[in-house]
Amino acid sequence: MGQSLMPTYSPLPVTFARGEGLWLWDTEGRRYLDAISGIAVCGLGHAHPGVAAALCEQAGRLLHTSNLYQIEAQQQLGDQLTRLAGMDRVFFGNSGAEANEAAIKLARLHAHQRGIKDPVIVVMESSFHGRTLATLTATGNRKAQAGFEPLVQGFARVPYNDLEAIDKVATSPASIVAVLVEPIQGEGGVILPTPDYLRGLRERCDRHGWLLMLDEIQTGMGRTGQLFAYQHAGILPDVMTLAKGLANGVPIGACLARGPAAEVLGPGSHGSTFGGNPLACKAALAVLQTLEQEALPEQAARQGAALLEQLRTTIGDLPGVRDIRGLGLMIGIELERDCAELTRQALDQGLLINVTAGRVVRLLPPLIIDDEQIGLLVDGLATLIRRFLAHQPTEASG
């Protein structure tokens, strides 16, 4: 490969030429089982015919007109998303980071409209919200922040799954206005909330007059077995962000809000050149139609439970496997030592996985995964992890 790209990634030595469903083929014609979906993006699988048809039809008519004009597909998508999410309004951008930037700006403007000069947003340790400067600051990963100081002010960080820490920070003199949290921490190692955590956050936000802002960029669009992960807890957030699975690979982000939070942003207060253009919105409409018609969130719940059970049965008792956890088709296998090298070994085996938080194998397969593919995935992972654990490193790690 050439040297023209800034080396912000260390790509694995493979180039994919085409895809279909769960399968990808490289330029040499070798087939791979995709258990990561482009980091939770291609929930419907690769080359989904409904999305492809929507894109082709729209590309032949109109790609872009600017948000200076009304966009019919954008209004249709906004209507459907707000109906399904129980929200009132939506702002469209191009990415998850842009959606979270909109949420952060919304919270700050909401505070200033109430006379709070130095608003503070509570965020969580080990969280991930993006790589723009504000979302990087909100992210709870010092390694990702290093070298980019000075960071943005106005955030207070507490441990995830710790309601007592929320109560403690609430007594500080800081002008807290919102809590920004992932319903399940993805980059942090597939960390699930305790049963009462999200309900506890909702109750505390109501008590103190804060906005509850949920980052559903990885958990949304059916991945966890509900269309949105907050539905497992029986609550409603004030603000919610979406992106990855929203248009099955076409870049789009969305920041939804309800109640007073939905009335904060007005003309001129925020914007996006490409956000919500006809092409991206048509793709997202095709995704929503498919999710509903084929009941894919329910399928994700069933297949995720089957995958989790088979993984626990097959490798759960192996020495060196610390935990196997997840919800729907968002699953983590935590090992006792760092295992980043597994992604390369899996690639050699024709399997696409991801390792996050150093020692957690993260699985985010398309929601359309079938029983046979689950069997292939479990067999492949079991072989991979048994072989990895059988070879001890020369020096203890992590």
Query: What pLDDT does residue 395 have?
Result: 56
Domain boundary among 262, 294, 326: 294
| Residues classed as catalytic | 128, 215, 244
Per the document, the length of the chain is: 398
Please check whether residues 376 and 231 belong to one and the same domain.
Answer: no
Would the annotation count 131 as a binding residue? yes
At 315-349, the pLDDT tens digits run 999 999 999 999 999 999 999 999 999 999 999 99
Residue 6 lies in a domain: no
State which of 294, 318, 346 marks the end of a domain: 294
The answer to whether residue 10 is domain-embedded is no
- Binding residue per annotation — 97? yes
Q: Are residues 270 and 350 in the same domain?
A: no
167 appears as a binding residue in the annotation: no
- Per-residue CA distances from 70 to 89, 250, 263, 342 (Å): 15, 21, 19, 48
The whole-chain average pLDDT of the chain stands at 96
Which pLDDT value is given to residue 12? 96
CATH of the domain at 284: 3.40.640.10
- The amino acid occupying position 251 is P
Amino acid at site 314? T
Same domain, 299 and 183: no
263-274 pLDDT tens trace:
999 999 999 999
Binding site annotation covers 231? Answer: no
Looking at the fold, whether 31 and 169 belong to one and the same domain comes out as no
Q: Are residues 35 and 130 in the same domain?
A: no
- The pLDDT assigned to 355 comes to 98
Same domain, 178 and 129: yes
Identify the pLDDT of residue 393.
74
Q: Is 272 annotated as a binding residue?
A: yes
Would the annotation count 127 as a binding residue? no
The reply to whether 369 sits in an annotated binding site is no
Say if 3 falls within a structural domain. no
Predicted local confidence at residue 270, as pLDDT: 96
**Which of 278, 294, 310 finishes a domain?**
294
Confirm whether 396 is domain-assigned: no
**299 and 243 within one domain:** no
- Whether residue 273 is annotated as binding a ligand: the answer is yes
**CATH code, domain with 312:** 3.90.1150.10
Residue 397 domain flag: no
Same domain, 71 and 196: yes
Question: For each successive 10 residues of the chain (398 residues), what is the average pLDDT?
Answer: 89 97 98 98 98 98 96 98 98 98 98 95 98 97 94 97 97 91 98 97 97 98 98 98 98 98 96 96 98 98 98 97 98 97 97 97 98 98 97 61
What residues make up the domain containing 305? 16-47+295-390
Check whether 75 is labelled as a binding-site residue.
Answer: no
Q: What is the pLDDT of residue 398?
A: 39
Q: Are 207 and 332 found together in one domain?
A: no
